[in-house]
Structures are given as C-alpha cells and as structure tokens.
Amino acid sequence: MVQQAIPEGQATPRAYDIAKIRRDFPILNRDVASGAKLVYLDNAATSQRPVQVIAEITRFYRDHNANIHRGVHTLSQEATGLYEGVRETTRAFINAPEAREIVFTSGTTEAVNLVAHGWARKFLQPGDEIVATELEHHSNIVPWQMLRDERGIELKFIPMLADGTLDMDAARELIGPKTKLLAVSAMSNALGTILPLEELVPLAKAHGATVLVDAAQAVPHMPIDVQALDVDFVAFSAHKMLGPTGVGVLWGRFELLDAMDPFMGGGDMILTVTTEESTWAEVPAKLEAGTPNIGGVVGFGAALRYLDELGMDQVRAHELDLTRYALARLGDVPGVTIYGPDNAEDRGGVVSFSLEDVHPHDIGQVLDDQGVAIRAGHHCAQPVMAALEVPATARASFYIYNTRDEVDSLVSAVEATSRMFGTG
Ligand SMILES: Cc1ncc(COP(=O)(O)O)c(C=O)c1O
C-alpha cells in the first residue's frame, strides 16, 4: 500500500510505540467474515480491550471474587480493597478532589440519568431552564425531555452551525438567569467536534447554573482535569476507554452528590432500615444501590493504568495525527463529503462522511467486506443529522492502536465503494 505524503503538523510522538501497543490487542490480528484482516475504526462506539484488562478481570474472578463492603472474610475484604482502589485510580485520572466523589454507574447513560433523577428532579422548579446543545448524544437529551414533561421545566438547545461547531451567539442568548443546568458534551460522538467548554462554562457560571459535562468521548481521548474545567458533574463510560462494558463514572462535587436523592433504593445504599422508614448511607454508597459490577470496575482499573502509562497527551497527539491524515486523504476521494470542523485540532479522532448517492449503510457493508469496521447511522445523535439535513453518516473513529496504514485501508475501501457505485 502506498503511504501518502504526511500532512503538516505534529506527528505521533516518537516515544509512542505503536507496534508494542498493538501486541496488547490480540483481536486486532483477527480476520472478519470476508477473510479480510480486521481494521477496527468503530472506537467511538466501543474500544477494544488490551490483554492487561482481560487478565485483570480473569484474575479477579479466579482469585478474589466475593461481594464487597458487607463481608468480614478475606475474599470480601480483598474484593472491597480492589473495588475501592479503582475509585482512587479514577479520581487521580481526572484529577477529582476526593475519591468519594467518584460514583460507579453502568455507563454514561446511567450517570446522566442519576443526575436527572437524583439532583435535577429534586432541585429544579417549574419554569427553570436546562440548556443543552444540538450536538448531544441522545443520552444527554432524552433524560432531560422526560424530566421536562414531568416537572414543567424548560429545555433549550444551542444550535449547531453547518460546520459542526456550536452557534456561540445563540449560546450567549440562550444561557441566562433562568438557566439552572447546562448539560453539554465535551466532544460530539457524531462529528468529533470539541465543544468550547472554556467559553460555555463561564457563561453558565455567571448565572449561577450547574454544569454537567458528558465526557464519554473526551475522557478516553484527551487529558481531562475536572477541577480545571470548573464544572459540577462529569459522566463517562469505561468501555470506550479499554475497560469492560457495564461500568461508568459519575464524578460530582461532594456537596452536590451529598444533597442528591438516591436514584435507586436497595442494599448497600442505606444506613438503617425499619419497616417504617430508611436512612441513607454516605456518598458514594448512597448512589450505588445493589451489588455493582465489581469485576468490571476492577478491570477498569487496569484500563486506567494502561492509559496513564501511555500518557493522555500522547494519546491525543496520536489521534490528532491520524485525524489530520484521514481528513487530508478522505477529502481527496471524489464524491466524499466530510462533516464537522475543518481543522483536525477542533475535533477528536472522529471522521464522519458520506459518499454521493450511496447510503451510509451500503458504505458500511462494502467496507466490512474489506475488513474495515466503521459505523453507519445516526450515531444516537439524530438532532445532529437533522441539522446537517442527512439521514445518516458513515463514521470512522480512531484510538490508541490505529495506524496511518489503517487510514490508508479505509481510504482504499471508500475508493472501491465509489467505483462500485459509479460515484464521484
Ligand atoms: C457522547 C456520548 N455520550 C453518551 C454516550 C452513551 O454512553 P453509554 O452507552 O456507554 O452509556 C455515548 C456513547 O456512544 C457517547 O458517545
């Protein structure tokens, strides 16, 4: 395969040993149904897991498995230590002030719903406003619509401009004295747009609003410091950052978590229970009812350590290099339209595109025949599709183990699709 000229800009750091990284992901060596070698470019949906994470989960179930918090026996104490240890690892990873501010959930979706049920439902009054953006994933839209219908609050959306960036003039008008919550993504999963939190957060704070950041696409791909962001809640998912499915994180300022109502009642979240009434345990136990995904959280710890060792600056630089390269190469394919910001610096490692007169699902199908796994559809972001006036897009998304050669495979496969459908 011909390696194309390298577009200008910062290349992947030399210290970044891509061959070594790829050896940690055996799945990358497999073939797909057509017999072609897998090129996995669906990382915004879920990443792959390295052997270190798989081994940690296996070790947990083989050597330490027990329920946590309640047992005095050795295994229970070991399991509790491992689980609580990951709370501290997570705290350090996002520079949260305290480990008790880390609440383990099943994913970003549950984390956002937890804020909607436990905080917003308790503190928002009819007439109060929640401001979100058109770039949100459905999981940062639907819980607010449900709450709006139940509580009589207002829900407003900052529009997206044609280039996939946010209309900041509209943001300045929409965020006002009635705004009680700004619920905003740090990075769009559909287009890769990095949202300007450094402008949005001060606008919200100037009106005393609380800020929730959906960081499902940010924490896995760039350094995130929740204190530097000066926000109140941050949600993300383990499975998009080398960890298992069924594990997520809600970080919140202690005083907000402490004031929240529990979302679910049951075991582990209580202090006392009589047949008449119950009292709640301290945060975070109050917000983690029932037996959590203990093995998953332990595996997530290994994922965090893996990323920490690589360095999130390096991860970002590597993805930026791939994105810059992909934008340059795909942009040259006849009939291809690329959506989202022109500058790679303004996006994460996501390239959403279409091919003239070819439905994105057909692109996905033909690419799969050549081993290239991308996603085609609305990416759980239908308002983005509506703003672009398209039903769907094809989306390639990168992670730590992807290479320029794989971008070349993507481009060759798109060219082949174009030839097959006679476009361009
Ligand atoms: C920006 C964004 N928010 C939220 C979610 C939902 O994450 P989960 O399905 O892990 O709860 C996703 C998943 O694609 C996402 O990309």
- Which residues on neighbouring strands pair with residue 278, listed in sequence order? 273
H or E element, residue 216: none
Report domain extents, the chain.
18-48+312-421, 53-309
Protein residue closest via CA to atom 13 of ligand 1: 45
Query: Which residues sit with their C-beta closer than 6 Å to ligand 1?
Result: 44, 107-109, 137, 139-140, 185, 189, 214, 216-217, 237, 248, 380
Using DSSP's 3-state secondary structure scheme, residue 380 falls into: coil
The strand pairing partners of 214, in sequence order, are 185, 235
21 pLDDT tier (thresholds 50, 70, 90): very high
Contacts of 309 (CB under 8 A, 6+ apart): none
Please say whether the dihedral angle defined by the alpha carbons of residues 352, 358, 361 and 365, taken in this order, is positive or negative: negative
From ligand 1's centre to the CA of 229, what distance in Å? 20
Q: What is the pLDDT of residues 301-352, one digit of tens each?
A: 999 999 999 999 999 999 999 999 999 999 999 999 999 999 999 999 999 9
| Angle of the 312-330 helix axis to the 294-310 helix axis, nearest 10 | 80
Question: How many helices (H) and strands (E) are present in the chain, helices listed first?
Answer: 15, 15
The mean pLDDT of 114-137, rounded to a whole number, is: 98
Pocket test for ligand 1, best of 217, 247, 350, 382 (most atoms within 8 A of CB): 217
Average predicted confidence (pLDDT) for the chain: 95
Fold designation for 18-48+312-421:
Aspartate Aminotransferase, domain 1 (3.90.1150)
234 confidence band (pLDDT: 50, 70, 90):
very high
Q: Among 10-14, 30-34, 264-268, 325-329, name the most confident range.
A: 325-329
Q: In what order do the strands lie in the sheet with 210-214?
A: 102-105, 248-252, 233-237, 210-214, 179-185, 129-133, 154-158
CATH topology of domain 53-309: Aspartate Aminotransferase; domain 2 (3.40.640)
Catalytic residues: 380
The pairing of strands 248-252 and 270-273 is unpaired
CA distances from 306 to 24, 63, 191 (A): 10, 21, 27
Tokens of 334: 């006849």
H/E stretch holding 121 reads helix 121-123
**Strand duo 372-373 + 336-339: pairing:** unpaired
* CA diameter of the chain: 73
Q: Are strands 393-397 and 375-377 parallel, antiparallel or unpaired?
A: antiparallel
CB 44 within 8 A of CB 52: no
